[in-house]
A and B are shown apart, each in its own frame.
Chain A
């Protein structure tokens, strides 16, 4: 067994990676590579998508069932766990590859469907339902009447660079990654370019940070490259704190080696010998797969001392984040790795001058680093040919909320938001009307129907009051209350504020209080609460301005964005809450109006006893009434009534 591993390792290091640039390998090697890529196979292969979303949908049971099926029927087949292909709403996804035929992908294969599906596919009969598509390969036979997976509406408009291997290859097989062209670009970078040339190449490509800021990656590298220091650090920020974004998780679960290769190239470019991956503790599966990938890369001499015998040392450590949104901020993240409270500090000095342990440090996001190896492979010109004037390449978006197809899509910059939401993801389900899409999480804003045709681009989005952020897109339909959404984000931000600077710590709390007051009924009409409500919008805008201008870090500076953006586009909803004391979408519970149905009320007095404000009156055994002015809309009566006599108007 050990011998086999050594033979495999030698094959990949000596035959595949040594002459990485030549495409004219002898037939034997090409055949062998095809076997590792699973294009050529003697045994049937089953692939189960076991990313976090797959497992959530029951892929674990699908896997077990498939395994026991093979055992029962005595079928000699391989079964591989892959990451997520991006179509979360179709999970569990099961792919089958019969020797000589194209691999074919099926959706919604829960435990009970496994047997039926495999029975027919092993007999070369393709069922008419649950098909996603087939992966076309030159030398394999095509399935009749099955669409090419690349023609599937979800995939046809996508351009997958970062997600290329996700959901397709075995994420914990370094051999398969190398067979698919992996790790040759780190060798190419080291042997063809000086470190500063790599920085220039990435700068020329126009690659910008995909974590939110949108700073030119090559520029950051150049700054760090020009620093003289005995030790430099690279940090990969995988602390995906933005609620509604999950692309980093999916990339690490689906193709961890691509990230490692990108990191190795980045480390060479800046001259760092040590790197950290700062990853959320909430992503146990991603952490596990990342650690396996790091061990494999060490085993192959791609990480560690003297990598590929070049005299360069490079190693990666995994650090688990402990759950703090503010650690997305570079200086806060550095403090967290150093074992301190994750609070930001003023810049300059920038981390590229004085970062982790006061050494020059570059911090890049997972998606940014996962772009790097392909840019080295295909050149900066190729990368600049994709996208818009100011934003190059592709961007991965995480689609969720009220949308038919949820999941991950990777599209060229410049694609319109409408295209992503309606052509790729199928629009809002159940015939509901689209209201807005929140882009950029708690630091971003919403895009409404009228702006859906703008091209995806860093500056275009900012102009419309949203931002690229890490790429979470949460879709909202007519049943979503935008004031409630603003309140939700403000609640999140004030909880996550680190407390260091006053505008953010106190300001966001006050903004939340205002939002809470306008989403509930005034309890005492005689107090100046009514006046406060009327003044609230003006106050919100004032506070927002102060917080934006005076906060120390990006979290505070962008904290008011969701409120400002909803105020800009949904002023009417705020007005309805403030003046009419009504929530048009019916979401804000405290603004509900209750009525007692006289015919159903038995006069049992339970509701009157439960009412905290004494708003329910009536004599025993006669129908009761609610005094509207006293009612605070808590719903205690509604829940207490055994006769369903209390109705929401």
Chain B
């Protein structure tokens, strides 16, 4: 098992079911997503059936079951963003990256996630790339934003 994931488990000395969601959150944080193996491991750790764990994990929007890209793009689809044109932003983004929301590009550089509301409605439409907010994004500016990330050297 990944040592990071092992570390997560060691933070819960007396595991019980109410730790399940925090554990899944920490495991996802450490591994980037929840793989089948990890869900089995969490089940063993909590002495709960894997099906139960999977049932809880799939209920919540936060959990991913596929690896995400190096740059994870969250597109806000809240009401304010919608009124100000976030659907065309998402459409253009899908076109620029040639993937659909929820997928990751082949080179694992970018992934798109649609989120219900980031809570920055005053700056709508908003996208967040690896936690960095981009305000008042339009169909026209999204291309440049993505290019800037693509050309980033680190």
Contacts and interface: CB of A to CB of B under 8 A. Distances in A.
Given A281-B62, A323-B60, A338-B17, A56 B134 contact: yes
Interface string A235-248: 00000111111100
Given A339-B19, A441-B79, A488-B82, A323 B126 contact: no
A492 B22 CA distance: 25
A230 B63 CA distance: 35
Interface in B28-85: 55-56, 59-63, 77-84
Given A57-B135, A284-B131, A398-B121, A472 B25 contact: no
Given A244-B80, A488-B82, A324 B120 contact: no
A55 interface: yes
Contact of B123 (A88, A441, A480): A88
A334 to B, nearest CB: 11
B114 to A, nearest CB: 10
Given A243-B116, A336-B21, A472 B79 contact: yes
B140 interface: no
A476 interface: yes
Interface string B81-97: 11110000000000000
Contacts of B118: 52, 282
Contacts of A399: 122
Interface in B131-153: 131, 133-135
Contacts of B17: 338-340
B102 interface: no
A341 interface: yes
A57 B82 CA distance: 19
B115 interface: yes
A357 B18 CA distance: 10
Interface string A492-527: 100010100000000000000000000000000000
B55 A341 contact: yes
B5 interface: no
A488 B39 CA distance: 33
B56 A282 contact: no
B63 A52 contact: no
A322 B119 contact: no
B117 interface: yes
A557 interface: no
Contact of B18 (A322, A339, A472): A339
A328 B22 CA distance: 18
A319 B22 contact: yes
Contacts of A249: 119
A277 to B, nearest CB: 13
A89 B56 contact: no
Interface size for chain A: under 10, 10 to 19, 20 to 34, or 35 or more residues?
35 or more
A57 B123 contact: yes
A407 B18 contact: no
Nearest to A496: B116
Given A53-B122, A320-B22, A401-B80, A282 B117 contact: yes
A127 to B, nearest CB: 24
A322 B63 contact: yes
B101 interface: no
Nearest to A477: B83
Given A244-B80, A472-B79, A340 B121 contact: no
B79 A89 contact: no
A407 B83 contact: no
A240 B121 CA distance: 13
A372 B131 CA distance: 33
A527 B11 CA distance: 61
Nearest to A241: B116
Given A57-B135, A282-B117, A323-B116, A244 B79 contact: yes
Range, interface on chain B: 35 or more
Contact of B124 (A282, A343, A401): A401
B20 interface: yes
Given A243-B79, A322-B63, A342-B59, A56 B116 contact: no
Contacts of B84: 401-402
Interface string A450-479: 000000000000000000000010111000
A324 B59 CA distance: 8
A341 B24 CA distance: 13
A337 interface: yes
Contacts of A492: 116
A97 interface: no
A283 interface: yes
- Centre residue among B115, B117, B124 by max chain A CB count within 10 A: B117
B121 A406 contact: yes
A53 B78 contact: no
B24 to A, nearest CB: 8
B119 A400 contact: no
Contacts of B117: 240-246, 282
A57 B21 CA distance: 32
A118 B67 CA distance: 46
Interface string A279-296: 011111000000000000
A474 B20 contact: no
A374 interface: no
Nearest to A402: B83
Given A56-B120, A322-B62, A322-B63, 14 more contacts: A55-B133, A88-B123, A91-B123, A284-B131, A323-B60, A323-B62, A323-B115, A324-B61, A398-B122, A400-B80, A406-B80, A406-B122, A475-B83, A496-B116
18 contacts: A55-B133, A56-B133, A243-B77, A245-B121, A246-B120, A320-B25, A322-B60, A322-B62, A323-B116, A339-B56, A399-B122, A400-B121, A402-B84, A406-B122, A441-B79, A472-B79, A475-B83, A480-B83
Q: Which 9 A-B pairs give the minimum distances between C-beta atoms?
A: A88-B122, A243-B78, A323-B61, A322-B60, A400-B80, A400-B121, A56-B133, A339-B20, A243-B117
